[in-house]
Structure 1
């Protein structure tokens, strides 16, 4: 967890005396790394059978979007420099640490999944097989990768070919295929197609899709951008003064230009392997940059958004349906029941489910679950602060490139204790014939279990393990708290952050 920094701003550069790693402050643009922890013990219960894992996955490294605080701002910054050079062909743009701008070219495209992103997804799928797949499919010694002969029920009869879901957006679709190439252990990204079915749900405006919920929930995504814009002058103030010394007097950078220079670092790192922009900012400024991004997501998709719960409730409803082995025949959320009302496109009783989606969906699902760990205050996260405050909502821990939220299902014997967990699970016991077993669900975000405080039906849970029956009993209340129709289509005008992911208190 990032903390507030009381350390004086040191010299800029690629390394810092404190040992600070700037990549951990790139927020949702950070390369994937396991989360440190969310104050819950990691590990696995040795006596329990791992029955299912539901994977909600983010795409990996990509080119920027056209959003003004993202690619739109970077393109405008690049054009400003190009226009200046055109007007003053004999003049240098930068000196000192900004001298690289004299030869710099904007090399980024838009939206496309990058080769580094493909590698992140393939690695994620392979790691998932190693950690979970071999247990769920009871791989034998020497079974290093998937084999279709493992896809059988406990009585030995063949299971249907596994089905996974993605959206139609190119970077999401390609991320799904690369993840599956890793899971199925193929050395060629396209050679695993025959092993699975892939349901591709259109990602277009006004089309219900739980993996892209904002397309069908048009309201409530302004407070985060407004909060970030309010904090932006604090973010850029020192850098703006510092850079002015090395630029022509008649080349004026504005706030969005400095934000673009921040953004250029992680995007060029993902695209080119390194970036001269990375050396321009202090440790404090990188921590503030992460907070700038956190403000956007907290207020647009999290507890600070009036539709934060509503945007994530559709996936939560689908998870509940899968846990009950039920298809969904109607929708009061972002669910598209033309996909979910049949087992061809909404399969049941699979050991593994994988849905490829966006970073905002992971944030909104955590919000729809009402997990208090990620809640800041009744009034959102502050903008009138001199530096990033201490908080538990940090995007580099929640939604780095390739982020993954696992919903594990464990079948456990009576009187199980979850206090002592083992770091590695070598064998998956078969408890199908054992009497008096109980199913538990645990949420694991980027390989770190998540506390279920705030999900009241799970009160008393140890290390995040909640009885599935109790979790399912919470769904009606979570549906009410989401206020989907009012949050997504109501007659309200909320432009600042709220406290509980709703347009009003229920």
Structure 2
């Protein structure tokens, strides 16, 4: 027994202390596996807290009056919403807080199959984590704490009467059950799409994620969906530290000294004061007693609808708002992310450019040995940790980082100007279509025996005269992003593809446009919302 105690003490001494039971400062490990391949260490996992178990069988109030019964699958998929004349799903109007769904209207082109005789020879996927609890210091948790502390000091009436018995039941940061399913389903779908790209010589592929717990588990659930529970025989999961000051292209903002989130926050508050006026007045009128209900509380209760739905399956908060107000909520987050890391942000391109450079290196089969952008050259200068001839590349990242990646690629079709006075019609930047929970961007290289006719409706002349050609195809949430819409080198094509050489040429220009050093470390003056439109600081 003494030797067992000594072994236990040795293992415990290998890690620094942590407030949540996981280590954040590894000192040493006796494992023969390099730290960045060891998913059991738990360091740099970020804060975590598990919430209470859901009880949807008890709390679900379905069937709703006047609404045909739709079984939950597993979330509540139908709630009566005032003003919802066309019976649309509000859970697909929750911006980046929406449970995963494929982009419903696409991005401006029809979908075309790979022509006979051609084949997808390479893919690079970057996926967001699945649905999660709110962040540890998130506004939703602050509202929950406020209401908990005010318990018994107020009385709620009408549609808000549920608040009299309501309890805050959410955890923090980590995946909720549907988030795990989203990544498992994504892995299964990607196996059906790209399983043939897995090498049949018995070798493992390298997949990459960050050290945050929800990131690691998202990768593991995806790989289980792709390969099965024995996925460790097929893939090695590389853990890249996610922490301030560490180079990590899957969390590019961690290595950037400048940010535009303050401007983004102020813009969303200004828009909230426009679209939430009526809702705020209604909710305040349902409260009596000692509870100061602010406009921020009204806004945060919309976010509680989103988080309670994915965590508990159902939320009473959802029915307090009209369909128009849910449209306003989604637009508020469109504004925030566009200004935070999109084309309306001076650091939008810079935040995502390191990842773009890594994908270009993979496409051209070379390492990255010179420090640039947020690239961790300790990992990218070695084919063990950065394979250069791997046909199946799987990375896991965050919503804001992937929006920045789309910006860094120069996809200007998402550079909408988003006013703070009204919602413009036919905008392209709709966050729920770009980055719902578990959203993903698949970049394919398609090899064809001859050039493919840009007019894909001409079925008798699919191929043109010429030699073997390779094309790049962007698929965002299962729909094609037309590269010619944003990159002039690609030209207009029915299928949205771009010839590989032209794509690489266009991206060399994007690398320069990002101006990473100046954007992240330069002495530029912050400007108000709406003054930036190209994802980089305005020229002096």
Fold similarity call, TM over 0.5: yes
What pairs up with 1:66-85 in 2 under 5 angstroms? 66-67=136-137, 71=138, 73-85=139-151
Quote the Cα distance in structure 2 between the aligned partners of 1:84 and 1:111.
Answer: 25
Correspondence 1:437 to 2:486: no
Q: 2:80 — aligned with what?
A: 13
Q: 2:8 — aligned with what?
A: none
Query: Residue 454 of structure 1: CA displacement?
Result: 2.4
Equivalent position to 1:34, from 92, 95, 102: 102
Correspondence 1:97 to 2:159: yes
Quote the Cα distance in structure 2 between the aligned partners of 1:495 and 1:250.
Answer: 40
Q: 1:140 — aligned with what?
A: none
- Report the 3-state secondary structure (helix = DSSP H, G, I; strand = E; otherwise coil) of the residue aligned with 1:228: helix
Correspondence 1:266 to 2:298: no
Paired residues of 2:81 and 2:323 also in contact (CA < 8 A): no
What pairs up with 1:440-451 in 2 under 5 angstroms? 440-451=471-482
Quote the Cα distance in structure 1 between the aligned partners of 2:505 and 2:404.
Answer: 20
Correspondence 1:393 to 2:463: no
- Report the 3-state secondary structure (helix = DSSP H, G, I; strand = E; otherwise coil) of the residue aligned with 1:474: helix
Paired residues of 1:58 and 1:402 also in contact (CA < 8 A): yes
Paired residues of 2:257 and 2:520 also in contact (CA < 8 A): yes
Quote the Cα distance in structure 1 between the aligned partners of 2:291 and 2:423.
Answer: 28
What pairs up with 1:319-334 in 2 under 5 angstroms? 319-334=359-374
Quote the Cα distance in structure 2 between the aligned partners of 1:478 and 1:331.
Answer: 18
Paired residues of 2:186 and 2:222 also in contact (CA < 8 A): yes
Q: 1:9 — aligned with what?
A: none
Quote the Cα distance in structure 2 between the aligned partners of 1:259 and 1:395.
Answer: 17
Equivalent position to 1:126, from 188, 195, 211: 188
Correspondence 1:45 to 2:82: no
Quote the Cα distance in structure 1 between the aligned partners of 2:85 and 2:255.
Answer: 47
Relative to structure 1, the CA distance from residue 409 to residue 159 in structure 2 (aligned partners, 3 Å threshold; closer, same or farther) is: farther
What pairs up with 1:61-210 in 2 under 5 angstroms? 61-67=131-137, 71=138, 73-86=139-152, 88=153, 93-134=155-196, 136-137=197-198, 151-152=199-200, 158=201, 160-184=203-227, 186=228, 188=229, 191-210=230-249
What pairs up with 1:306-385 in 2 under 5 angstroms? 306-377=346-417, 381-383=418-420, 385=421
Quote the Cα distance in structure 2 between the aligned partners of 1:74 and 1:369.
Answer: 33
Gaps of 5+ in 1: 1-11, 138-150, 153-157, 423-434
Paired residues of 1:13 and 1:282 also in contact (CA < 8 A): no
- TM-score normalised according to structure 1 size: 0.85
Quote the Cα distance in structure 2 between the aligned partners of 1:451 and 1:224.
Answer: 28
What pairs up with 1:470-485 in 2 under 5 angstroms? 470-485=502-517
Query: Residue 421 of structure 1: CA displacement?
Result: 7.9
Correspondence 1:504 to 2:535: no
Quote the Cα distance in structure 2 between the aligned partners of 1:30 and 1:418.
Answer: 35
Correspondence 1:219 to 2:258: yes
Correspondence 1:251 to 2:291: yes
Q: What do the CA deviations read for 1:302-326 (whole angstroms, capped 9, x no partner)?
A: 0010010111111111111011100
Query: Residue 495 of structure 1: CA displacement?
Result: 4.1
Quote the Cα distance in structure 2 between the aligned partners of 1:96 and 1:266.
Answer: 21
Q: 2:74 — aligned with what?
A: none
Query: Residue 43 of structure 1: CA displacement?
Result: 2.8
Paired residues of 1:13 and 1:280 also in contact (CA < 8 A): no
Q: What do the CA deviations read for 1:25-76 (whole angstroms, capped 9, x no partner)?
A: 1000101111121011113222311101110100011011145xxx2x2223
Quote the Cα distance in structure 2 between the aligned partners of 1:495 and 1:259.
Answer: 25
Relative to structure 1, the CA distance from residue 387 to residue 325 in structure 2 (aligned partners, 3 Å threshold; closer, same or farther) is: closer
Quote the Cα distance in structure 1 between the aligned partners of 2:492 and 2:371.
Answer: 32
- Report the 3-state secondary structure (helix = DSSP H, G, I; strand = E; otherwise coil) of the residue aligned with 1:259: helix
Quote the Cα distance in structure 1 between the aligned partners of 2:359 and 2:99.
Answer: 27
Higher relative contact order (CA 8 A, sep 6+): 1
> Is the deviation greater in 276-285 or in 235-244?
235-244
Q: What do the CA deviations read for 1:323-344 (whole angstroms, capped 9, x no partner)?
A: 1100101122011111100111
Quote the Cα distance in structure 2 between the aligned partners of 1:461 and 1:331.
Answer: 36
Query: Residue 85 of structure 1: CA displacement?
Result: 2.6
- Report the 3-state secondary structure (helix = DSSP H, G, I; strand = E; otherwise coil) of the residue aligned with 1:93: strand
Query: Residue 112 of structure 1: CA displacement?
Result: 0.7
Quote the Cα distance in structure 2 between the aligned partners of 1:121 and 1:488.
Answer: 32
| Cα RMSD after superposing both structures | 2.0
Quote the Cα distance in structure 1 between the aligned partners of 2:363 and 2:120.
Answer: 14
Quote the Cα distance in structure 1 between the aligned partners of 2:145 and 2:101.
Answer: 34
- Report the 3-state secondary structure (helix = DSSP H, G, I; strand = E; otherwise coil) of the residue aligned with 2:473: strand
Q: What do the CA deviations read for 1:174-220 (whole angstroms, capped 9, x no partner)?
A: 10000000000x2x4xx322221111100010111000000001313
- Report the 3-state secondary structure (helix = DSSP H, G, I; strand = E; otherwise coil) of the residue aligned with 1:85: coil
Relative to structure 1, the CA distance from residue 372 to residue 236 in structure 2 (aligned partners, 3 Å threshold; closer, same or farther) is: same
Q: 1:430 — aligned with what?
A: none
Quote the Cα distance in structure 1 between the aligned partners of 2:167 and 2:277.
Answer: 25
Correspondence 1:410 to 2:410: no
Quote the Cα distance in structure 2 between the aligned partners of 1:472 and 1:64.
Answer: 38
Paired residues of 1:46 and 1:421 also in contact (CA < 8 A): no
Gaps of 5+ in 2: 1-78, 459-465
Quote the Cα distance in structure 2 between the aligned partners of 1:364 and 1:490.
Answer: 19
